[in-house]
Amino acid sequence: MKRFILSLLMCLLFFYGNAQSASDKFNIIPIPAELNQGTGHFKIDASSKIGYTNQQDKKVAELLQQHLKNTYQLKLALQKGSQGKSVIHFSSPESDTLRLRESYELSVSPGRIVVKGKEAGLYYGLQTLLQLLPEKNSKSLDIPAVSIKDQPLYAYRGLHLDVSRHMFPVSFIKKYIDYMAAYKLNNFHWHLTDDQGWRIEIKKYPRLTAVGAYREETMIGRHNQGPNYNFDGTPYGGFYTQQEIREVVAYAAAKHVNVIPELEMPGHALAALAAYPELACGDRPGPFKVAAAWGVFEDVFCAGKEQTFETLEGILDEVMELFPSSYIHIGGDESPKVRWKACAHCQKRIKEQGLKDEHELQSYFVQRMEKYLNSKGRKIIGWDEILEGGLAPNATVMSWRGESGGIAAAKQGHDVIMTAHSNGLYFDLQQSLRDQQEPLNIGGYAGLEKVYLSEPTPKGLTLTEHKYILGVQANLWTEYIATTKKVEYMLFPRLFALAEIAWSKPESKQWEKFSGERVATHLATLDKVGTTYRVPEVIGLRDTSIHAPSYTIERLQPSVKGGKIYYTIDNFDPGDTDLEYTGPVTISAAAGKERIFKAVVISPSGRKSNYITLKLSNAPAK
């Protein structure tokens, strides 16, 4: 019996070990639900053909054709059907295993690749296949045999971008959507209005952009520096025309990305109030200026005046024309109540409606907007502040101030999207604990590991309540992000972790494999195509102090495939003119002295990581 158990264990170990190494080899992000390695490989060459079954599949087939042409200068023929000796076939069958809209199957064997899925599923099958292709300019295009069955963990996998604080050209917004689609994210939350700029053209209210899209200047440095506030003295602004918005929405739809517009109300509204001051509290409000500083402002939309609601409805009418999304995000966060307390219109509304206080007035505001949008067949999303004073009946809650808002909403039977600050899903926070080595950011730590190890669904929910957690999102607020390169820097590699917690089974989490193999491989790809990203610190060492006369530093690994590690022992910041780490290095310190070892990673294109420090102290003999 003992022997039997022992051999069973050995078997299990063998299979487990094999399954692990199979997925390592493939380095897919997000890691698929099921992956089995086959034998042999499929070779793509000029004689290979791309097959499809119907017009829908043909679109995906064409995407592969385009990719092979652009990346490898290989032009393959398209055909209807799967006949032939070397065929990559896309099909959307009515099979039971592919009931889900986003699930797919991919099988690679010598002579045949088959991708099966419906709509988004087939598209995701293609994304996985693209990740299996060898590097750009490779001589032969071999894909190892494998069979994959995959489906997402969460239906909602979101990424947000704030274009109010800083804005980015349409061409970059499209790139952002490309990044999302390649990693199977499916909801782009476009934060279009805030205190510092109104960025969407509204024909009925032209001053929103004519006035509200421009600020006199912009704050520089961190905003919590108190009296040391500083401004750049340079006007800033711009907006997206309705034509451009349509273009973005259509572009995203073709990549199975839904675009959710956010229009902030009742707070974060200074840009709108600068354009139409009559929408603020009191009888002769304003004038207001589009904000040049970051923060939360006391002037908000008046909840007493009918004109406020009429205007916002007029705005939302045009928004609904532009965005087919069933969800419209109406903000609801950080709306101070000071002005409402002193406003006769708001107080009258409170009385008439029998409301308890200004929190219930905020709830009245949100519920009224919800009713309007529901009447047009749309649903609202709001930040978790919309819980205060009573939740609107059909609202979906975006839980950002930790997990408690999400838990409360799910317990009330409301849908929830988790985007907890405390889980590192604020990509405006810094990626390292070393402040001085990072570019200016809002502060606080949200490193890759923190994002990867977080669990989107909060603990303590019943199984029924679990169902209300639609999914997870990361937010990219841009107070401190003025360039597209910095957007990319803040995004990568954390986007990989987001994709994985949103799509993959939590059981498949393995931090070492994820960071050391898969992230390192995907960063090497970004490195090649010139996308900006943050180079993670050297793998195998953390900032440490060791008390000993000598120490050997072993098994360091570059965080980008193909990258190199350089080090110093003289406390200077290492670079590519220093010693290269190629194997174990022993350092020593004389009695009573210290030795400081610092190591960096430099990527193939020359991007450099922060350094990691190991401090060796040899105490004097007692």
- How far is residue 172's CA from residue 487's CA, in Å, rounded to a whole number? 10
> Which of the residues 32 through 71 are near ligand TNX (CB under 6 A)?
none
- Mask: binding to ligand TNX, 478-507, rule CB under 6 A, as x and -? -x----------------------------
- How far is residue 66's CA from residue 220's CA, in Å, rounded to a whole number? 43
The residue (of 211 and 291) whose beta carbon lies closer to ligand TNX is 291
Q: Is 388 in the site for ligand TNX (CB under 6 A)?
A: no
Q: Is 333 in the site for ligand TNX (CB under 6 A)?
A: yes
Least Å distance between CB 362 and ligand TNX?
A: 14
The residue (of 276 and 477) whose beta carbon lies closer to ligand TNX is 477
Q: Given the DSSP bridges, would you call strands 594-602 and 564-568 parallel, antiparallel or unpaired?
A: antiparallel
Count of residues that bind ligand TNX according to CB under 6 A: 9
Q: Which residue of 477, 492, 496, 533 would you call a contact of ligand TNX, by CB under 6 A?
A: 477
> Taking the CB of residue 503, how many other CB atoms lie within 10 A of it?
26
Least Å distance between CB 313 and ligand TNX?
A: 23
Q: Which residue of 334, 388, 438, 449 would you call a contact of ligand TNX, by CB under 6 A?
A: 334
Q: Which residue of 323, 400, 566, 611 would you call a contact of ligand TNX, by CB under 6 A?
A: 400
Q: Residue 537 has which token pair?
A: 């610190």
Least Å distance between CB 331 and ligand TNX?
A: 7
For tokens 């098994």, name the residue: 555
**Cβ atoms of 600 and 575 closer than 8 Å:** yes
The residue (of 479 and 517) whose beta carbon lies closer to ligand TNX is 479
Least Å distance between CB 332 and ligand TNX?
A: 8
> Which of the residues 543 through 602 are near ligand TNX (CB under 6 A)?
none
Least Å distance between CB 160 and ligand TNX?
A: 9
The residue (of 123 and 383) whose beta carbon lies closer to ligand TNX is 383
- How far is residue 239's CA from residue 199's CA, in Å, rounded to a whole number? 4
Q: Which residue of 52, 90, 301, 383 would you call a contact of ligand TNX, by CB under 6 A?
A: 383
Among 334, 388, 438, 449, the active-site one is 334
Alpha helices in 492-617 (DSSP H): 494-503, 511-513, 520-529
Q: Given the DSSP bridges, would you call strands 156-162 and 469-474 parallel, antiparallel or unpaired?
A: parallel
Residue in 535, 540, 541 with CA at minimum distance from that of residue 519:
535
Least Å distance between CB 421 and ligand TNX?
A: 7
**Cβ atoms of 454 and 426 closer than 8 Å:** no
User: Is 268 among the catalytic positions?
Assistant: yes
- How far is residue 528's CA from residue 197's CA, in Å, rounded to a whole number? 35
For tokens 């009258």, name the residue: 348
Alpha helices in 117-238 (DSSP H): 120-132, 170-182, 207-210
For tokens 């994210």, name the residue: 185
- How far is residue 180's CA from residue 410's CA, in Å, rounded to a whole number? 27
Taking the alpha carbons at both ends of the chain, their separation in whole angstroms is 58
Q: Is 424 left (phi over 0), alpha (psi -120 to 50) or beta?
A: left
The residue (of 298 and 573) whose beta carbon lies closer to ligand TNX is 298
| Buried-exposed string 136-164: b where 16+ CB fall within 10 A, e elsewhere | eeeeebebebbebbbbbbbebbbbbbbbb
- How far is residue 41's CA from residue 498's CA, in Å, rounded to a whole number? 31
- Mask: binding to ligand TNX, 252-291, rule CB under 6 A, as x and -? ----------------------------------------
The residue (of 313 and 333) whose beta carbon lies closer to ligand TNX is 333
Q: Is 360 in the site for ligand TNX (CB under 6 A)?
A: no
Instruction: Based on DSSP, count helices (H) and strands (E) in the chain, helices before strands.
Output: 18, 28
- How far is residue 365's CA from residue 301's CA, in Å, rounded to a whole number? 10
- How far is residue 233's CA from residue 204's CA, in Å, rounded to a whole number? 31
> Which of the residues 441 through 460 are near ligand TNX (CB under 6 A)?
442
Least Å distance between CB 301 and ligand TNX?
A: 16
The residue (of 166 and 561) whose beta carbon lies closer to ligand TNX is 166
The residue (of 300 and 355) whose beta carbon lies closer to ligand TNX is 300
Q: Residue 228 has which token pair?
A: 């040391």
> Which of the residues 414 through 443 are near ligand TNX (CB under 6 A)?
426, 428, 442
User: Is 334 among the catalytic positions?
Assistant: yes
Query: For the chain, how many residues are written?
Result: 622
The residue (of 219 and 538) whose beta carbon lies closer to ligand TNX is 219
Among 89, 189, 268, 329, the active-site one is 268
Among 105, 194, 415, 488, the active-site one is 194
Binding site for ligand TNX (CB under 6 A): 333-334, 383, 400, 426, 428, 442, 477, 479
Catalytic residue positions, numbered: 194, 268, 334
